[in-house]
Amino acid sequence: MLRIITDNASDITVEQAKELDIDLVFVEITFEDGECPQRSTEDFVTFYRRLEKCDKLPVTSRPSPQAYLNIIQDAKEKDEEVLILTISGGLSGTVESAHEAKRMSGYDRVCIVDTHQAIIAQRLLVEMAVRLRDEGYSAREIARRIEHSRDKVVVCGVVDTLKYLRKGGRIPAGLAAIGSILNIKPVIVLEDTKLKTMGKARGYTQGVKMLYQRMKQDQCSKAYPVYFGYTTNRELGLSLLQKTKETFGLNCVKLHPVGGVIGTHCGTDCVAIAYVKGH
């Protein structure tokens, strides 16, 4: 038997984790007035309501080694292998907690993979691992395949407002004000394990064009599913999915909400695409 553990930066909910037969550990989010759990899609909605009203961005806390250790010890007692897939180490110290838990457990049958990804791209890799597990592959075999695939996965998106980047101190207040007047939409990509700005678009439509340029450059593979994400506007996410499916002739597409772990920085009305490079 094989246990797969991931964290909620993948935006996999508790209910979905049960369906996938995997274990979840949690990156906790805390506003000035208290914690905001991210365990269900309803929690995601609550998060964005609180985000819109807050003066100061919430802080995130990586899962404790103990959270991993509890699951590893249970697997050890049942003589099960363990595969841990974490959010990018460039965004969080979560992978360090996983390694500490492995050391504490003294259990050798634990494989840890930094996915180099987050949100829908991390989900894509986790669900890939689940399919391989169900096909009978071992933890080490799956880990090798995920390590081979992780840097071929691209996730990029259009941010609707500079408001949250300003609150997070990533851009000056004056630039945010000018950007709002000019209808600037940052286009971001998770690259080299960190969130980077791919460009600045004048409006949403131009932002989508930039996403499509990147997808064409990467020769988006039709052999893998393409995932679409949205923070608050499901209709916007669905519209992007349908348009992209037609534009690229995609075979398998999925739409998922994005929770607060990355949503803290992207804010409301953000959309994203995750795919596998074709070259």
Do 108 and 193 lie in a common domain? no
Do 144 and 192 lie in a common domain? no
- Closest listed residue to residue 207, CA positions, set 219, 215, 199, 217: 199
Task: Give residue 175's pLDDT.
Answer: 40
Total number of domains in the chain: 2
Do 142 and 167 lie in a common domain? no
Q: Which domain holds residue 241?
A: 153-276
Do 130 and 177 lie in a common domain? no
Give the domain-ending residue among 151, 168, 191: 151
- Is pLDDT above 90 for 243? yes
As a whole number, the mean pLDDT across the chain is: 92
Do 240 and 185 lie in a common domain? yes
Q: Are 255 and 220 in contact (CB under 8 A)?
A: no
- Closest listed residue to residue 90, CA positions, set 227, 259, 258, 262: 262
Listing DSSP states for 210-261 in one string gives HHHHHHHHHT--SSS-EEEEESS-HHHHHHHHHHHHHHHT-S-EEEEE--HH
Distance CA 143, CA 265 (A): 29
177 vs 79 pLDDT, higher one: 79
Determine the 3-state secondary structure of 153 from DSSP.
strand
CA 190 to chain centre: 10
Q: How many CA atoms lie within 13 A of 21 on its CB side?
A: 10
CA 20 to chain centre: 17
How much of the chain exceeds pLDDT 70, in percent? 92
Q: Strand locations in the chain, DSSP E?
A: 2-7, 23-25, 28-31, 34-35, 59-61, 81-86, 110-114, 153-158, 184-191, 194-202, 226-230, 253-257, 271-276
Give the domain-ending residue among 124, 151, 178: 151
94 vs 195 pLDDT, higher one: 94
How much of the chain exceeds pLDDT 90, in percent? 81
Question: Where does the pLDDT of residue 185 fall: very low under 50, low under 70, confident under 90, or very high at 90 and above?
Answer: confident
Query: Tell me: the pLDDT tens digits for 99-143?
Result: 999 999 999 999 999 999 999 999 999 999 999 999 999 999 999
Do 131 and 16 lie in a common domain? yes
Q: Whole-prediction pTM value?
A: 0.94
Give the domain-ending residue among 100, 127, 151: 151
- Is pLDDT above 90 for 180? no
Do 88 and 108 lie in a common domain? yes
Do 147 and 159 lie in a common domain? no
Question: Where does the pLDDT of residue 20 fall: very low under 50, low under 70, confident under 90, or very high at 90 and above?
Answer: very high
214-234 mean pLDDT: 97
Do 142 and 30 lie in a common domain? yes
Give me Rg for the CA atoms of the chain. 19
Q: Tell me the CATH number at 159.
A: 3.30.1180.10
Do 97 and 145 lie in a common domain? yes
Do 203 and 79 lie in a common domain? no
The DSSP letter of residue 154 is E
Beta-bridge partner residues of 272: 157, 229
230-250 mean pLDDT: 98
- Is pLDDT above 50 for 177? no
Inter-axis angle of helices 234-248 and 204-218, nearest 10: 40
